[in-house]
Amino acid sequence: MNCLLCQQSFSQALTLADLLYWRPLLTERICSHCQRKLQPITIACPECGRAQNKCEYCRDCQRWLRTQPDQELHNHALFVYNAVLQDFFKRYKSLGDYRLRQAFNADCQRWFRQHPADVYIPIPTDTDSYTRRGFNPVVGLYAPCVPLTNCLKKRPQPIKQAHKKRQARLRTPQLFYFTGDAAQLSGKRILLLDDIYTTGRTMRHAQACLKMAVPNCQVNTFTLAR
């Protein structure tokens, strides 16, 4: 199999545990060489999942807690958003190489197995991006791992988040609205899924939108990169 990131051919090394556990084998799509360039997050800010030396609120989250003390977020991110991942997202989202959606399936699946939730909700894209790309990058990343429930919609945006400066991103008003069945979600553990956590604006809007629609649910969030 060829590594999705560097295109070199490689073969997956099986561990004894892989053989002994009676469950489907996770196929790696990234070679060990590229795997080593990724920085998995172990110790992180409990709020946003940023990699840190100590488990305490990072500066961004302290500011969030000051402005919105009643909205707590519990985000987990798998990897630091480093050069390798930037390149990955450029090829996946900007150039539109849909094959790359499988690159992190094994890593995500492993985490979802350890931290199960009742409902998985992906962050939606607006229709413009969808017609241009031909796919929703978030759905592409997570659809093979867990069953997704699409119950959020995004209002059309004049400028994309990625093209804004930090302050402009933070000023963005609520951009989601709820379209699903609130009764079905009530009392459930919900995991919101996105690809990258940058300022936290998107995630907090999505979480607030869900909480408005379904008051008694527990919402955690998950991103591939922070």
Partner 1 sequence: MATMNNIPHLQRRSAMTEISTNWLRCTRCGSRQLKQQVQLADGRYYCPDCLLLGRICADDYLVDLAEPNDFPRKVQPLTWTGKLTEAQKTAATMIQQHFIQRQDHLLWAVTGAGKTEMLFPGIAWALKQGLRVGIASPRVDVCLELMPRLQVAFADTPIMLLHGRQNEPYQYTQLVLCTTHQLLRFYHAFDVLIIDEVDAFPYAQNPQLAFATQQAVKIDGARLFLTATPSRLLLQQVRQGNLALSYLPRRYHGYPLPQPKVRLCFKWQQQLRQRRLPNLLQHLLTTKISQQQRFLLFVPRIELLSVIAPILWEQFPDLKFAVVHAADSQRLVKVQQMRQKYLDCLVTTTILERGVTFPGIDVIVLGADDAVFSAAALVQMAGRVGRSAAQPTGAVDFICAGLSRGVKCACQQIKQVNRKAGFK
Could you tell me which of 64, 34, 5, 57 has the C-alpha nearest to residue 199?
64
Tokens of 194: 């996105």
CB of 153 or CB of 211, closer to partner 1: 153
CB of 10 or CB of 57, closer to partner 1: 10
- For residues 216 and 189, give the distance between their C-alpha atoms in angstroms, rounded to a whole number: 10
Residue type, 178: F
Strand order in the sheet with 119-122: 75-79, 218-225, 189-196, 119-122
The residue from 16, 17, 59, 134 that contacts partner 1 (CB under 8 A) is 134
The residue from 6, 12, 41, 133 that contacts partner 1 (CB under 8 A) is 133
Neighbour-count burial of 217, counting CB atoms closer than 10 A to its CB (0-12 exposed, 13-18 middle, 19+ buried): middle
SS3 145: coil
The residue from 26, 82, 91, 182 that contacts partner 1 (CB under 8 A) is 91
The residue from 75, 136, 202, 207 that contacts partner 1 (CB under 8 A) is 136
Among 32-40, 49-57, 129-137, 215-223, the segment contacting partner 1 (CB under 8 A): 129-137
Q: What angle do CA 46, 163, 86 make, to 5 degrees?
A: 60
The residue from 40, 96, 144, 187 that contacts partner 1 (CB under 8 A) is 96
CB of 193 or CB of 210, closer to partner 1: 193
The residue from 57, 97, 164, 178 that contacts partner 1 (CB under 8 A) is 97
Q: Considering the rule CB under 8 A, would residue 202 count as an interface residue with partner 1?
A: no
Residue-level length of the chain: 226
- Return the sign of the alpha-carbon dihedral for residues 172, 173, 179, 184: positive
Give me the least distance between CB of 85 and partner 1, in Å please: 18
CB of 99 or CB of 189, closer to partner 1: 99
- Total residues contacting partner 1 by CB under 8 A comes to 14
Q: Which of residues 30-89 bind partner 1 (CB under 8 A)?
A: none
* Residues near partner 1 (CB under 8 A): 91, 95-99, 130-131, 133-136, 139-140
